[in-house]
Amino acid sequence: MDYRSMVAERNQKNSRDETFFKLEKERNQEEEEVVVEEEAKLSSSKKRGQDHNNNAVKIGIIGVGGWGKNHSRVLHDFGVLTSICDMDKTKAQDLANRYNVNYYGSIEDMISFENLDACLVCTPTKTHYQVSKKLMENGINVFIEKPLSYSSIECEEMIQIAKKKKIAMTCGYIERFNPAVQDVKKILSEETYGELLMIEFHRENRMPLHIKDVGIIYDTAVHDIDTAIYLFGKKPQVVFARAGKIFHSFEDFSNIMLGFGKDKVAVISSNWITPKKVRKFSAVCTDGIINGDFINQEISIEDSNSTIIPRRFSLVEPLSLELKSFIEVIEGKREQPEVTPEEATNVTKIAEAALLSSNTGAPIYLNLGE
């Protein structure tokens, strides 16, 4: 290696080291700020209990069979949870008693008796459209657990209702708020390790017992479809998938390939068969590989010279960041949700294409716009 090459390589390494230390410093500072802010909100919530003042945002939850329980906990900690609704009124009552809020067995009663600013829809996927439509037609902002809907046609109708009523609508693609994903997004935007070529996702676990109406593509793979689009910063042009079922009535394993043009690709592997919980991804760039773990929120960076593992001193709950962002939209502190309805609709269109591809054995070409 000649002198100029040695100097160039050393300068490149110094640049990467500076990026690493800058990233670690910023991340730790952000974590400290989030912890302090959340502790302050929790303290404030405890002081006033559920005696909400007139200026506080009022949020309800519909459906507490699955993720609704987690949303209830976080919204209670933020001091904005006012009511819980579930078709199983006993289940709604039990959770409402824990947080000292009102409970209902029907959406109509909740809308009639509560003055809600927003509502979370945590019901089965195929009910999202009807439940959300009813809320939006009553002028209530909505946060809908993923996916936005089983049908892209329903998604587009929901967007039109939200625009007509001038209310906020978003979807719970929580990995956008995962610190590991945020770290990787920052590194990719700076192109410290060159151009992003490929992302591989592995998401494995036993099937959640509360999932009854969809398979693994709509319940699980959609997370990684959204994350792939977010990290690439563009929409895929083609989808090819293979899926099957062994233990369940819907598909319980799938492999999806998304083509982003110029030979760039995302490979998404999901199954409800593996007994061990796995949530990992790898971003392959021209000059290195960035590995991420959704669970422990750690990343590692490998290039030709070394492996770097930035330290993380504490975990930050992505759900808290996600709901905080939604509350800020309602309060007028943010112009639009982090996950727009249009972005969530594109994820549903890709999930539809993946199922069609699996059923026909052919690639499905998409036109999702710029």
The pLDDT, as a whole number, for residue 213 is: 83
Domain-embedded: residue 306: yes
240 beta partners: 257
| Domain hosting residue 241, numbered range | 175-315+340-365
Alpha helices in 138-204 (DSSP H): 152-165, 179-190
Domain-embedded: residue 261: yes
The pLDDT, as a whole number, for residue 6 is: 40
The pLDDT, as a whole number, for residue 212 is: 73
Query: Model pTM?
Result: 0.86
The pLDDT, as a whole number, for residue 354 is: 98
Domain-embedded: residue 334: no
The pLDDT, as a whole number, for residue 34 is: 46
Domain-embedded: residue 327: no
Domain-embedded: residue 17: no
**DSSP assignment of 248-286:** SSS--EEEEEEE-STT-EEEEEEES--SS-EEEEEEEET
Domain-embedded: residue 106: no
Domain-embedded: residue 350: yes
The pLDDT, as a whole number, for residue 27 is: 55
Domain-embedded: residue 193: yes
pLDDT in tens, 8-64: 454 455 455 555 555 555 555 555 554 445 444 444 433 334 444 556 899 999 999
Number of domains composing the chain: 1
CATH number at residue 205: 3.30.360.10
Q: How many residues does the chain have?
A: 370
Collect the ranges in the chain with pLDDT lower than 50: 1-8, 10-11, 14, 34-36, 38-52
- Calculate the CA 354 to chain-centre distance: 19
